[in-house]
Amino acid sequence: MKSKNYSEKILDVFKKKGFVFSEPDVLLDSNYIIQRSGENFKKLMLTFEDDTGKNMCLRPDLTVAACVKYLKENSRGASKIYYSGQAYRRSNNSKESIINDQVGLEIIGSKKKLSDDKEIINTILKSIDKIKIKNVSINIGDVSLFRQLIDSLNMPERWKLRLIRHFWRPKYFEDLLNRLETNSDIDPITVDFDKKKFSEMKKLNQNQEIAGRKISEILSRFDKKIRDPRSFAEGKKTAKIIREFLKISCPIDQMDKNLNKFFKKNNIKKNIIKNLLPMKNLSKNDYKIIFSTNFGRDIEYYTGMVFDIWASTNKNKQEIARGGRYDNLLKSLGSKKDVSAVGAAINLNNLSRLMQ
């Protein structure tokens, strides 16, 4: 079965589920993408300058491109779209093509988060069933769990801000945990500099933007950071809890048991897992599904559920789909408020490699 045949069968499933075709722009503002989608994209993007000297790029990701189009069209309310096209980005593997053929779908602007998450996953799985792919396995997590864990822990606000901000940078994040563990906080010179900068910025136009953030937002973070410069004696214990949380990995039907055991051991409120229903429903499938608290840290715009799907043959194993929830992305791209959004894409190149 050729890639085109895969695509036709998958898109037929999308249409029957009520998704409407939309073609995202191929060319995007590269600075826009880097600032909003995270530094992980920067080294992978194919960029150039247009006739006006503006930095542009070929779309490295169809989700971001779909969101840009949604905002450009001043869309209102819920939008269920699907697309078929190419994403262009470099790979760490020199043998891989820079052109990635994809088909995908997004639900943007809907308030039915739990049912939308479930619909995206189930539609992707139904598509995979349609093209008769076997030996399917799924990795799934929810990156919002980490933020909720950090919010529930008793630690200074400045540490919470750092850990949440750098969750997407595993190496630097580990360095932060080492500092937290040994109570190696920022030095007094840095605190004094922050206070001086804070005073200077208060005199500026609060709606002015610096590096994509309003000065009022930057000042809010500064205020939390410099308000509590005390040492933190519980750092070792807190770092241990965080490391233990990020080691949780288990079959999906054991997710509740393992999370509740962790919460009980560390006296943490259990209600932070109340929105994991779409994952729990997956336990009814026959696929091998692994839940991990450490999964989904490679793309910074994810805010909730995130998953990838793999398939294997006797010859090889390929990632054939990936998706997740990204409720903050549209605001960072220019929306005046957060817009609920979730989506996923199937990699047609990898499907072709799988069947070779």
Distance CA 279, CA 283 (A): 7
pLDDT at residue 274, as a whole number: 64
pLDDT at residue 1, as a whole number: 47
Residue 119 covered by a domain: yes
Residue 270 covered by a domain: no
Residue 36 covered by a domain: yes
Written as one letter, the residue type at 50 is D
- Whether residues 197 and 121 share a domain: the answer is no
Contact at 8 Å (CB) between 317 and 175?
A: no
CA distances from 282 to 13, 52, 139, 288, 289 (A): 19, 50, 11, 10, 8
- Whether residues 100 and 14 share a domain: the answer is yes
Residue 62 covered by a domain: yes
Of 247, 242, 237, nearest to 181 by C-alpha is 237
- Whether residues 127 and 12 share a domain: the answer is yes
Strand partners, 29: 56
Cα Rg for the chain, rounded, in angstroms? 22
Q: Say whether 209 sits in a helix, a strand or coil.
A: strand
Residue 294 covered by a domain: no
Of 18, 122, 21, 133, nearest to 66 by C-alpha is 21
Number of structural domains (the chain) is 2
Task: Show which of 192, 217, 242 is a domain's final residue.
Answer: 242
- Whether residues 45 and 89 share a domain: the answer is yes
Residue 285 covered by a domain: no
- Whether residues 59 and 159 share a domain: the answer is no
- What CATH number is attached to the domain comprising 20? 3.30.930.10
pLDDT at residue 86, as a whole number: 92
- Whether residues 180 and 236 share a domain: the answer is yes
Contact at 8 Å (CB) between 71 and 330?
A: yes
- Write the secondary structure of 152-173 as one string of H (helix), E (strand) and C (coil): HCCCCHHHHHHHHHCCCCHHHH
Sign of CA dihedral 59, 65, 68, 74: positive
Task: Show which of 242, 277, 295 is a domain's final residue.
Answer: 242
Contact at 8 Å (CB) between 315 and 345?
A: no
- Whether residues 228 and 346 share a domain: the answer is no
Q: How far apart are the first and last CA of the chain?
A: 10
pLDDT at residue 311, as a whole number: 92
Distance CA 104, CA 339 (A): 19
- Whether residues 126 and 16 share a domain: the answer is yes
Residue 269 covered by a domain: no
- pTM score, whole prediction: 0.80
pLDDT at residue 118, as a whole number: 92
Collect all residues with Cβ–Cβ distance below 8 Å to 305 and sequence separation of at least 6: 117, 140, 141, 142, 278, 279, 324, 325, 342
- Whether residues 83 and 111 share a domain: the answer is yes
- Whether residues 123 and 160 share a domain: the answer is no
If one counts every other C-beta atom within 10 angstroms of the C-beta of residue 102, the result is 21
- Whether residues 42 and 113 share a domain: the answer is yes
Residue 103 covered by a domain: yes
Domain that holds residue 205: 148-242
| 49 backbone dihedrals φ, ψ, rounded to 5° | -100, 135
- Whether residues 101 and 199 share a domain: the answer is no
pLDDT at residue 273, as a whole number: 64
Mean pLDDT by 10 residues, the chain (356 residues): 75 96 90 67 81 88 89 85 91 78 95 92 93 90 92 88 91 91 62 66 77 73 59 81 96 91 86 69 81 90 93 87 93 88 94 81
Task: Show which of 198, 227, 242 is a domain's final residue.
Answer: 242
| 275 backbone dihedrals φ, ψ, rounded to 5° | -105, 25
